[in-house]
Amino acid sequence: MHGRIHLLALSFALALPPAVAAQFADDPPKPYVPTRPPTQKELDQRASLKQYVLGLLCQREDRLIEAFRAFEEAARLDPEAAAVWKAQLPLLLALDRGRDAVVAAQKALALDADDFETWFLASRIQKSLGQFAEAQKALERGLATNSLKEHPEIAQSMWLDLAAMHEVADEVGPAIKALSAAVAILDHPDILLDHGPFERALIVQRAAETYERLGNLCRKAKRFPEAIAAYQKAQQRAGDQTGRLNFNLAQLCQEEGKHAEALNYVDVYLRRTPLGTEAYDLKINLLVKLKRDQEILPWLEKAATADRFNMSLKVLLAQKYAEAKRLAQAEKLYLALAEEAPGAEVYQGLFRVYQQDAAGSLRTLELLDRTLARAQLKPISPASAHAATQAKAMIAAVRDDAALAKDLVRAASASFPRSPWERERPKELQFDTVQLLAALADRNDQPAEAERFFRQALRSAPPAAEPLLYSGFLRVLWKSRQWDAVVKLCQEGLANAKGTSHVLFHADLAKAQARLGRPDEALRSA
């Protein structure tokens, strides 16, 4: 220690003018002599301070373990120094010792209850551990400290954290109060700029975001005038007069029953040609409320032309064509969409249009069968790959819509030959189509149709498809409790199957024979 003092004095003397340096050389500083011997407590405090400084140096050099040990030793030597406990917090967090960090924070706060920074850090630690009630109390204690008044840059973050906790707990009133306190600070960027290297634009942006959150909460609490004021302030600070906040204002006015005002706001928002259809749906509802239904289709047609890459908007237009019974226009638009961007929603809409036609679901069946045939063409080409994509979308459309699936199965069953001796046989369906019909019938509790299509599919099934078909067919027979039919199908499978393990047939055969009261046969099959 004394050596460091002499070196410091020497470096200071070398920096002085020669005359002054000579004076210090003639009259060097006298060594410190205490007036009384230090107490053990003072010695411990001095040693604690040394360990604390050592810990800071190690921490600066990213030697975290050594820094933590130094801080621990400092706390052992002087447990009444709040700083040595507070210094441990970031290191304990870095070492993933969150619960120990909570203990250290509690000890620091017991010694210095006015330390808002430690309250803030303790809150975030407790929140990360799932201790939400304790985290909220810590924030509230920190916000009540006198020292926080001089640090608005920290206060706004603490208010925002507290608001988020109230929002999660669905405590709307306290959340509004906390957000109001936060924006009261954020609305004075000049003051915040005096407390750190912040950017004015980021402060203003955060104020806009906070005002929007405040507007959402006021709207939820039915405090409509406050919500409108908050949204408008957010809009002013965002500097975007056609932004999505107009959509929030439109929704708010709609809830208040101010449909004309809501329409004005949503029209301004729609100038941005937003993605999706939420704003378009809102305008349609408003036009209906205002009894201006006749404007909907002409406006949608113009909007879809102006925003030609918005596929969702075109689907919405097709839906409105169908609702207006303009089926030819709806079909034409759906088919164009299916060529450009095939999806389940597109085909569901198209198939519902076909349901309103005299031919019913047969048109759906023909389109599906034709598309599956194109998808199977070899060699693979861009056309067959596109057809495969369309086929997947069609299958998803009928799979996810039980009404469509049932109608498709019924239509196919009505046109399908019931026996090989019928004179007028319709065009044979693709194997993949028949297999799909069997699966749809099974999925939607149509056992007679499922049995018919599973049997038809098995007649032309390639060996690789057999296991799925046999297991599906057996499942249908089991559900309808047709034990004799299970026995017969298993025997047929044992005799004819080429790509299916016989274990499947023996196992199901044994169970069916047991159900039929034939224990000896069941035992042999097992």
> Which pLDDT score is estimated for 422?
40
> Which pLDDT score is estimated for 198?
87
Residue 10 burial (CB < 10 Å; 0-12/13-18/19+)?
exposed
352, 356, 362, 365 alpha-carbon torsion, rounded to 10°: -10
Q: In one letter, which amino acid is 376?
A: Q
Interacting residues of 355 by C-beta distance below 8 A, sequence separation 6+ = 361, 364, 404, 407
> Can you read off the two tokens belonging to residue 283?
């305008």
Phi and psi angles of residue 445, each rounded to the nearest 5 degrees, phi first: 55, 55
pTM: 0.67
Residue 365 burial (CB < 10 Å; 0-12/13-18/19+)?
buried
Neighbours of 127 (CB within 10 A): 18
> Which pLDDT score is estimated for 423?
39
Residue 222 burial (CB < 10 Å; 0-12/13-18/19+)?
exposed
Residue 36 burial (CB < 10 Å; 0-12/13-18/19+)?
exposed
Phi and psi angles of residue 421, each rounded to the nearest 5 degrees, phi first: -95, 0
DSSP assignments along 349-399, one per residue: HHHHHHHTSTTTTHHHHHHHHHHHHHHT-SS--HHHHHHHHHHHHHHHHHH
> Can you read off the two tokens belonging to residue 234?
């957010």
The crossing angle, in degrees rounded to 10, of helices 278-289 and 296-306 is 160
| d(C-alpha 204, C-alpha 143), whole Å | 23
Query: What's the average pLDDT block by block, 10 residues per block, for the chain (526 residues)?
Result: 39 49 67 84 92 93 92 93 92 90 93 93 92 94 93 94 94 95 92 88 92 92 90 84 80 91 92 88 94 94 90 94 92 93 92 83 89 87 91 93 91 67 56 92 91 90 90 92 91 90 91 91 89
Answer for the pair 236, 256: CB distance below 8 angstroms, yes or no.
no
Neighbours of 349 (CB within 10 A): 23
Answer for the pair 287, 293: CB distance below 8 angstroms, yes or no.
yes
Cα angle: 52, vertex 72, 109; to 5 degrees:
85
> Which pLDDT score is estimated for 177?
95
| d(C-alpha 376, C-alpha 380), whole Å | 8
| d(C-alpha 232, C-alpha 374), whole Å | 56
| d(C-alpha 439, C-alpha 190), whole Å | 68
Answer for the pair 120, 103: CB distance below 8 angstroms, yes or no.
no
